[in-house]
Amino acid sequence: MKTVSKPVMSRARKFAIGVLAILPVVGIGTSLHASAEVDSYEAVSPSIEQARANILISRQLQFTHFREQTIDENLAEEVFNDYLDYLDGQRVYLTEKDIESFQPLKEQMAASLRTGQLQPGFDIYNRVQKRIVERMDYALGLLEDGVDSFDFQTDDQILLDRSEASWEPDQAALDELWNRRIRNAVLGQRLNGSSDDEILKVLTRRYESQRKRISQMRSEDAFQAYMNAFAGTWDPHTNYFSPRNSENFNINMSLSLEGIGAVLQSDNEYTKVVRLVPGGPAARQGQLGPADRIVSVKQEDEDQPVNVIGWRLDEVVDLIRGPRGSTVTLEVVPANASDETVTRTIAIKRDEVKLEEQSASSEVIELDRGDETYRIGVIDIPTFYADFQAMQQGDPDYKSTTRDVRKLLEDLKEEQNVDGLVVDLRNNGGGALHEANDLVGLFIDQGPTVQIRSSDNQVQVLADQDPSVAWDGPMVVLVNRMSASASEIFAGAIQDYGRGLVVGSQTFGKGTVQAVRSLNHGQLKITQSKFYRVSGGSTQHRGVIPDIEIPSRIDTTRIGEDALERALPWDQIDSVPHARYFDFSGVIDQLRQRHSDRFAETPEFGLLQKEIDFLKEQRKTTTVSLNEDQRRDYQDQLESRQLTIANARRELRGDEPFDSFQAMEDHQEQQAAAANGEDEELDFIVREGGHIMADMLELDRRLATILPAGTVAAKAE
């Protein structure tokens, strides 16, 4: 079976291990702290097996990747820069002098990558690890006098994101930078209510832990980091897996492990949440979200959490995994946090992700519109799934997306007597490709559904061969930025066929297919083909543009294919002949106007827009003050605005307002499990999808049964 790969959601490149770095923090002092308990970092060296793997990776990338490029000096410079970004993405360990000393290594890099000479990459890696040890020693030295020795009455500020900053010129400048970083960490925890004694313990434990991690680095860590910087210059979905990470990747693909149901990736200093598995423990618990960054992990039988900043991804995954029924507590920096010192604690009970909890489901909503009441069927599809094992065993009742949706449609038509259909694909990250193809077939008599172009320019067309139709009435497909891969194939086909309207926000744009190839040492996941709609345009990079747009809280600068460096571009091939069931051009302007007028009078939309504006303002903040009074004022303003929005939403529902920000947070934690990951935005957007459906029927009654009405086979424009 071919499976649509899941998307990556980050501006940072996705790698197979954790970046060796630390949480932004800072203080005062000049002495280096020598830890007697931790050995100094010992340089690592490449092995013969790694050198052979490097040669195989070079050949695979040059001759089988979808993007054609050669390993020359220009590409080597990209590898060099990406490697430094990976090892010191916030530019807090290396100085300008270090970078200058790497120039001879950069000049050797092109030839070295072609021939398996790994020493340039290892030399850079070893230097960075030694610099990290020096910074840890410096940070621990600053903490020796206690956090009350820091001055929080200055007008100093700190840059939140240093990924584009200049390298500091020397060690003295780095000392000053770290002074600010530690003050920022102390101040952030003070504002979270921690005492100075607690802060001192937490930060000391953090830096000692990270220093210890550096002393345990292995040759494989350097090789993974270097090969991923190399592979990532082709595209962000091409990755190298070490032998251990290959095992983890294969286990994850078989869904045989119990855990929290979250896909993770490395993002500079942190392990970041990519997406939640539908129906999994984290999705059901409701507090963890995409782009949240994990700071620490605590087991239920342990008193203290383990700080995981700077840990390898595989080791963080091992900590989070555990027996079914046990609880793991994550400390995370929320995606919408004002800065990295703002964290929240989330307790999740581990469980296995069950297929039935990912299954499609339906409901019927009634909309009173003047003299008429419309019954709208809503089908929610969390993922494109199939029970492959049952299918291979010949079970006639095996579960799959298409089979389940067909049954739901039969019920909606025969028992519920609905007037229209809304298919909800929001937050659906994809899944089985053949299920996307078959699902399109439930809504058309037959025809092509998607084109797949390989690296040798051969085009394969998947098609629905079944002339039967499960639903021939009008439909709306809801999408958002988290709709990816198979979701985009389905939504794009419905749009191209004129079978329904796509409503929501621009989708993720994951339109590539990866294959995993074994090496002598580990595996290479490599991009080998791209998806194209039947109209010829790729879903890659651009995704699906809705016919009617609804704004979203999701930060598109951080989540989405077009937010990834070196993502393959959008392009176009020839369209394939396909039917066009309805031309919406005659009514789309009126539909958009009705939607706009309705939203202008919808209180929920007004609150959503206020929240979006608030989040955009926060994202524009590039620095924060290290003055305690100013910082408290800033935090009070943020909390006040969030509380105002939350209380306005409660007022709409007839609930008592919260009397404080803390009361709001306590309530959200208590309600997280019951909420099952849903929120008010989802409910009112589903209703709006129903209203758009009703508008369609009112404006053109031909939509009531559009399929049999003069289907014309033609090429899409």
Q: Catalytic residue, from 380, 496, 547, 695: name it.
A: 496
Do 488 and 596 reside in the same domain of the chain? yes
Q: What confidence score (pLDDT) does residue 37 get?
A: 40
Beta bridge partners of 345: 331
Q: What is the pLDDT of residues 350-362, one digit of tens each?
A: 887 665 567 899 9
pLDDT in tens, 609-642: 999 999 888 888 899 999 999 999 998 999 999 8
At residue 281, does pLDDT exceed 70?
yes
Q: Which residue has the higher pLDDT, 338 or 523?
A: 523
Residue-wise pLDDT for 541-586, tens only, equals 999 999 999 999 888 888 899 999 999 999 999 999 999 999 999 9
Does 590 lie in the same domain as 486?
yes
Find the mean pLDDT for residues 455-471. 95
- Do 276 and 369 belong to one domain? no
Q: Which of 179, 213, 239 is the last residue of a domain?
A: 239
Question: 424 with 501, same domain?
Answer: yes
User: Can you state the angle between helices 119-143 and 219-231, rounded to 10 degrees?
Assistant: 110
**Res. 454: pLDDT tops 60:** yes
Residue 646 is assigned to a structural domain of this protein: no
Catalytic residue among 6, 14, 510, 530: 510
Number of domains the chain contains: 3
At 258, is the pLDDT very low, low, confident or very high (cuts 50, 70, 90)?
Answer: low
For 209-238, give the DSSP string: HHHHHHHT--HHHHHHHHHHHHHTTT-TT-
Q: Which of 204, 239, 274 is the endpoint of a domain?
A: 239
Confidence check: pLDDT of 69 > 80: yes
- Sequence-ordered alpha helix ranges (H) in 261-386: 281-285, 313-320
Indicate the Cα dihedral angle 609, 611, 616, 621, nearest 10°. 150
- One domain, residues 231 and 122: yes
Antiparallel, parallel or unpaired: β 239-241 and 262-267: unpaired
pLDDT at 310: 75
Phi-psi region of 655 (alpha: psi -120 to 50; beta: other; left: phi over 0): beta
CB 5, CB 512: distance < 8 Å: yes
pLDDT of the residue at 353:
67
Residue 24 covered by a domain: no
17-67: pLDDT as tens digits: 222 222 233 222 333 333 434 457 899 999 999 999 999 999 999 999 999
Q: What is the pLDDT of residue 159?
A: 95
Domain match, 406 and 328 both: no
Taking only the tens place, the pLDDT of each residue in 414-423 is 888 999 999 9
The domain boundary, picked from 305, 334, 349, lies at 349
Tokens for 616, please give them. Answer: 């955009």
Paired tokens of 477: 């497909």
CA separation for the pair 608, 308 (Å, rounded): 34
Q: What is the pLDDT at residue 277?
A: 79
Domain span at 450: 355-517+527-600+685-714
Q: How confident is the model at residue 245 (pLDDT cuts 50, 70, 90)?
A: low
More confident position, 321 or 512: 512
Averaged confidence pLDDT in the chain: 86
Is position 496 annotated as part of the catalytic site? Answer: yes
Could you tell me the pLDDT band of residue 377, with boundaries at 50, 70 and 90? very high
Beta-carbon contacts of residue 123 (< 8 Å; ≥ 6 apart): 105
Say how far apart CA 681 and CA 688 lie, in whole Å: 11
Nearest to 184 by CA among 210, 211, 203, 206: 203
Residue 108 in this model has a pLDDT that exceeds 90: yes
**332 and 360 part of one domain:** no
Residue 377's CATH number? 3.90.226.10
For residues 310 and 321, give the distance between their C-alpha atoms in angstroms, rounded to a whole number: 18
Structure tokens, 594: 């009705």
- What is this structure's pTM? 0.85
User: Residue 211 — φ and ψ, nearest 5°?
Assistant: -65, -40
Beta bridge mates, 501:
476
**Which residues contact residue 68 at a Cβ distance below 8 angstroms, ignoring those fewer than 6 apart?**
455
Q: Do residue 295 and residue 380 come from a single domain?
A: no
Q: Are 329 and 400 found together in one domain?
A: no
* Contact status, residue 483 vs residue 425, Cβ threshold 8 Å: yes
* Catalytic annotation, pick one of 5, 209, 485, 535: 485
Is residue 129 a part of any domain in this protein? Answer: yes
The per-residue pLDDT for 32 is: 35
Same domain, 359 and 339: no
Find the CATH number of the domain harbouring 285. Answer: 2.30.42.10
- The band of 335, judged by pLDDT with boundaries at 50, 70 and 90, is confident
**Is 659 designated active site?**
no
| Per-residue pLDDT at 371 exceeds 60 | yes
Q: Report helix, strand and coil shares of the chain as percent, to nearest 5.
A: 40, 20, 40
Is the Cβ–Cβ distance between 535 and 67 less than 8 Å? no
Residue 622 lies in a domain: no
Among the ranges given (398-412, 486-500, 589-603, 655-669), the one the predictor scored with the smallest mean pLDDT:
655-669
**Strands 523-532 vs 306-307: parallel, antiparallel or unpaired:** unpaired
> Could you tell me if 444 and 313 lie in one domain?
no
Tell me if 611 is assigned to some domain: no
Q: Phi then psi for 304, rounded to 5 degrees?
A: -115, 140
Residue 142 lies in a domain: yes
Active site residue 485: yes
- In this structure, the answer to whether residues 390 and 449 fall within a common structural domain is yes
Q: How many CA atoms lie within 13 A of 528 on its CB side?
A: 13
CB 573 within 8 A of CB 566: no
Rounded percentage of the chain residues whose pLDDT exceeds 70: 87
> Which pLDDT band holds residue 484 (cuts at 50, 70, 90)?
very high
Helix ranges restricted to H, 429-555: 433-441, 486-496
Q: Which two tokens stand for residue 435?
A: 């299920």
Residue 186 lies in a domain: yes
Three-state DSSP state, 124: helix
Distance CA 712, CA 579 (A): 5
Residue 678 vs residue 253, higher pLDDT: 678
- Give the residue among 258, 271, 265 at the shortest CA–CA distance from 348: 258
- Residue 11 is assigned to a structural domain of this protein: no
Residue with more model confidence, 9 or 232: 232
Of 260, 258, 257, residue with least CA distance to 346:
260
